[in-house]
Amino acid sequence: MGSVLKLYIQVAFAVKIVSCSITMVDNTTSKSPIDLSTAFLLRVDQSGQGDYKRIQEAIDAVPSNNSELFFIWIKPGIYREKVVVPVDKPFITLSGTEASDTVITWNDSGDIFESPTLTILATDFIARYLTIQNTHGNTGKAVALRVSGDKAAFYGCRITSYQDTLLDDAGRHYYSNCYIEGAVDFIFGNAASLYERCHLHSMAEESGAMMAQKRESPLENTAFIFLGGKITGVGSTFLGRAWGAYSRVVFALTYMSGVVKPEGWNDWGDSSKQRSVYYGEYKCSGPGANRSKRVTWSRSLTKDEAAPFLTKGMIGGRGWLRPSPTHFKKYQTS
């Protein structure tokens, strides 16, 4: 089997498409505007059979202020490195084939902006079928993923740590069919994010908190919205606690196991926040969805109240969520 045909088959499997085509293009002559059907292909393989051995090397090879899609295909393996997608490198996709066998891992703690295993600062980023983990343990803040760029999407990813797993910091973000695990504030920040059909797993043995949303003004169009999906875990956990005075979190059509504490929500020791936070639930199911003992300042949403949170409208998804490319071209640096 020729090398081009092998590449054709491998990439088609990686992006789960039926067909694609590959052409050779020299980057010195390619200055066309963005074509969402076509991407430059960079391959990362620890064995040396790809274009790069490390993920960061592939990201570094993307030209600054690029205006075309770059698809970085990561061959299965455990990649022990801290990875940053800088602000001047938009339109990058990092893709494995299965999250279970493509792992980006590091072991760091302390500052929430410095400890992440993977940091996204650029706009128009996509991650597919990756495990992103921080293995520091349960002795402090240890971020696995920081998302500070606008228009970022994650598909079929596993994101795991213990405290402060996912810093969903700023911008509009979309998470689809992701698994997110932690114990203390394991999704936190002030982004406008939709989590669709995601699995949240709490590791808190006694009293944890899943969300710490930091909306600080009623003028901020930010929130964490969980649509579908499920909550599992051990011990017990709050659905969320009020990091910001106007913290906003909504769970809709979500299965909640008995790990959810009956009161559901926590004001983080500041009762004044009870008047301004927005914590809503809509048609959730399971033993943890029983609202008979919920705090009185949380909301059982009506159909009309829930409607704005049941689509991708809040994150403007129709304007920036994009399909996988169907054509690939080799990127040549010289």
User: In sequence order, what are the beta bridge partners of 204?
Assistant: none
Q: What is the mean pLDDT of residues 91-102?
A: 97
**What percentage of the chain reaches a pLDDT higher than 70?**
90
Q: Is the pLDDT of residue 9 over 60?
A: no
Q: State how beta strands 255-256 and 230-233 pair.
A: parallel
In 3-state terms, what secondary structure has residue 178? Answer: coil
Of the candidates 156, 143, 159, 170, the residue with the CA atom closest to the CA atom of residue 200: 159
Q: What is the mean pLDDT of residues 264-288?
A: 98
Q: Is the pLDDT of residue 212 over 60?
A: yes
Higher pLDDT, 276 or 314: 276
Residues 6+ apart with CB under 8 A from 130: 74, 94, 95, 96, 99, 102, 103, 104, 157, 158
* CATH 3.50.50.60 for the 76-325 domain, yes or no: no
Residues 6+ apart with CB under 8 A from 102: 74, 75, 76, 77, 79, 96, 129, 130, 131
- Read off the pLDDT band of 35 (50, 70, 90): confident
Chain mean pLDDT for the chain: 91
Catalytic residues: 185
The pTM of this model reads 0.92
Distance separating alpha carbons of residues 113 and 231, to the nearest angstrom:
27
Distance separating alpha carbons of residues 245 and 258, to the nearest angstrom:
28
- Read off the pLDDT band of 152 (50, 70, 90): very high
User: In sequence order, what are the beta bridge partners of 209?
Assistant: 184, 238
For the segment 12-32, what is each residue's pLDDT rounded down to a tens digit?
A: 444 443 333 444 444 333 344
What residue spans define the domains of the chain? 76-325
Of the candidates 35, 175, 30, the residue with the CA atom closest to the CA atom of residue 99: 175
Return the pLDDT at 207: 82
- Read off the pLDDT band of 334 (50, 70, 90): low
Alpha helices in the chain (DSSP H): 3-15, 55-61, 303-306
